[in-house]
Amino acid sequence: MTPASAAEAADRIPGPVAVQVECDAPDLADRLLAALAPHDPGLVLLFGRRGDQLGPVGARLQQALGPDCTVTGCSSAGEIGPEGYASDSMVAIGFPGSSFRASAVILPSLATLPVSDWMASLRQHRRSFGADPGRSLFGLLLVDGMAGQEDALVATIDAALPSIPVLGGSAGDGLDFRRTTLLAEGEVGDDMAVFVLVETDLAVSEVTFAHFRPTETRAVVTAAIPDKRRILELNAEPAADEYARLTGIERARLTPSEFAQFPLLLRMGRRHYVRAISALTDDGGLSLMSAIDPGTVLTLGHAEDMTQGFAEAMDSLPCTPLMVLGFDCILRRLALERAELTDTMSEMFMRYRVAGFNTYGEQHSSMHVNQTFVGLAFMLPSAQKTGASTHVA
């Protein structure tokens, strides 16, 4: 084979395919299977609002697609399908076995943080998986978004597998924030995480985007309950009252939409990471979606254009992606709805072939963050070297 024909063959490597079906469809599993089976997937990711559907749908797909296909997924706070944002549906993403290989491991018992056991499982999983040095290798993480242990979990994975880029999302439960569901290895449950090793012949590039700017307003966390991710006091005042004063919004008017408009930011190095607020607490505190400690200095953020920056991040890729696996915070979606930009964002998702789900938090670069879009772009092998990243904040 000549170099030119070899390049042409490489550029015919199949990319992922996404399909979406309404949750109440009586033939949900069969419709997903009919769309996925022709691609002979080696990995299927399932994301849907109804956690109780993951088990039966996953079992049907696993039975039909065989043991060489890894089927995993989680409940969502919303879906991203072939037509952009969706709700009350199930999105399935199939990764063709001819160009992808995957294997999942369950990390159980988040509540008790069995870090040593997790590290042993992760290292054994890496050894048994092996790897082709000529292919791109990365990790995907799905985690119970109500367990509150993402920060410890991503630090553990980074310590156990420091050379492997990992990104993912926290499972959701709509806007109910009660219970999330995960699926892997035929097991369905909560209080666990699923880590998936994936290798592919395609080029991959991480894309992250957060639509905020830091203001000059800062506040010190003077009292907190770290294990509950709760701020009791900001600047020695009741946290909810002080946040209302800093934003200029009456406390009675504070809702998830306002929290999304004015996030709290934690500065690390040159970058700011969102420590998103999920709710007011009965004792006048603020419940967060990420870890927080007393003495932390936070900066008040302000949401900016939620579409232009995303387009800039995507356009900086060397070519149009075959697909982008996206983990998009539910608070971003709420802010887009408030700004009446949901349709605009959906059109951009369609343009750049984004598929995934709305999360309770995102994981990338060994960090757990919020109010951020985290994606992995899959491109033709000739596009670029593995591991390049695009960050816009």
- Find the CATH number of the domain harbouring 231: 2.40.30
When pLDDT is cut at 50, 70 and 90, the band that residue 270 belongs to is confident
For the stretch 118-142, pLDDT in tens is: 999 999 999 999 989 999 999 999 9
Q: Which domain holds residue 157?
A: 3-209+307-392
Q: What is the mean pLDDT of the chain?
A: 91
Domain check: are 148 and 68 in the same one? Answer: yes
90 compared with 278, residue with greater pLDDT: 90
For the stretch 231-253, pLDDT in tens is: 999 999 999 999 999 999 999 99
When pLDDT is cut at 50, 70 and 90, the band that residue 5 belongs to is very low
Domain check: are 285 and 216 in the same one? Answer: yes
Domain check: are 146 and 21 in the same one? Answer: yes
Domain check: are 141 and 32 in the same one? Answer: yes
The residue from 303, 337, 354 where one domain ends is 303
Domain check: are 338 and 324 in the same one? Answer: yes
The residue from 279, 303, 327 where one domain ends is 303
The residue from 303, 336, 368 where one domain ends is 303
| HEC profile of the chain | CCHHHHHHHHCCCCCCEEEEEECCCCCHHHHHHHHHHHHCEEEEEEEECCHHHHHHHHHHHHHHHCCCCEEEEEECCCEEECCEEECCEEEEEEEECCCEEEEEEEEECHHHCCHHHHHHHHHHHHHHHCCCCCCEEEEEEEECCCCCCHHHHHHHHHHHCCCCCEEEEECCECECCCCCCEEECCEEECCEEEEEEEEECCEEEEEEECCEEEEEEEEEEEEEEHHHCEEEEECCEEHHHHHHHHHCCCHHHCCHHHHHHCCEEEEECCEEEEECEEEECCCCCEEECCCCCCCCEEEEEEECCCCHHHHHHHHCCCCCCCEEEEEEEHHHHHHHHHCCCHHHHHHHHHHCCEEEEEECCEEECCEEECCCEEEEEEECCCCCCCCCEEEEC
Domain check: are 64 and 173 in the same one? Answer: yes
Domain check: are 248 and 348 in the same one? Answer: no
Supply the pLDDT for residue 384: 54
Q: Into how many domains does the chain fold?
A: 2
For the stretch 321-340, pLDDT in tens is: 999 999 999 988 988 888 89
Domain check: are 31 and 158 in the same one? Answer: yes
Domain check: are 66 and 32 in the same one? Answer: yes
